[in-house]
Structure 1
């Protein structure tokens, strides 16, 4: 299953429309999506473990602990704290600005792109998604073509659990990633090697899009 390249602009626009419509603007709507994400991990656990074994040879205990269990822990932590994270926080102002007052308000960015690697294809796809949803963003997930069994499962099963205007999964090789990088996002998260990280950063610069890069690449 490969996402048609000509479908990518419409996918991104659908998520931008979902953000504009406020589908995850308030905390209760974010919690709904997070609970649905955990439901996916619970109900598809056996299939996910099989896919991780097929792709990476991971034993079930390792796969659960480092991928599914880890991500479920992230979800539960986000659900427990998201209300507090969203509350305005009063901060001190300098003497020159008194008697004024100031607060810090955490606002969603918009639509984010998450480009995931092959080595932890569940954790490093869905844990960033947890953060994006908790912050009130919509998200495109670009799953790795290398971990094909896991990516296929995410692409075919995850959409049944999450709102189509909030999360989309894109599959494919380099052309699909390139097509996504041609679109405008409000934040891009990439995990991978430094060479590709430079490409991501150059593409993001065209739209002045902030990036989070987790770069490694030393392991075969």
Structure 2
């Protein structure tokens, strides 16, 4: 049984999984049995939470695919009693005489918050998540940068920071070929910069006074 599920859950990190960013907080584990007509007839076994009436991984935003694992998110949990945002992964399980068994794992929402850096900048930062093609799959500022838009149209080449649409942005790529982009408005960025320069000036004047 360890080959089917639980022995491989922690092993996701060994294939470039979530543990490269932070420890997995497993919220939801399903062994998903899928018919050859992919996702038209889905049954689930061994879930540790009741699932929503329609389990449809084909509708989830794909972040990347690597080593037989598909990474999704952020998206609303498949847990029937939880509508928070989660990250998730699904991979095929090798079983004798079966080629339609998959394991699906969701992270707890706190992991997503840790990745996005919540509570570190008093809410001044917003975030985007890009898939492997640079498309925005999650946006906290849809009025300026919307889901489905390709971020390359806002950036210059492989730059890790820049300015676009009155926002400063800072991009960090993951080992799974998806990215997190932190953005802050130019007005707030300039305010923070001015405060930082003022603090340096005050420290310099303090030491010059002695």
Task: Give the alignment's TM-score, normalised by structure 2.
Answer: 0.26
| Structure with the higher strand share, 1 or 2 | 2
- Higher RCO, Cα 8 Å, sep 6+: 1
| Structure with the higher helix share, 1 or 2 | 1
* Rg larger in structure: 2
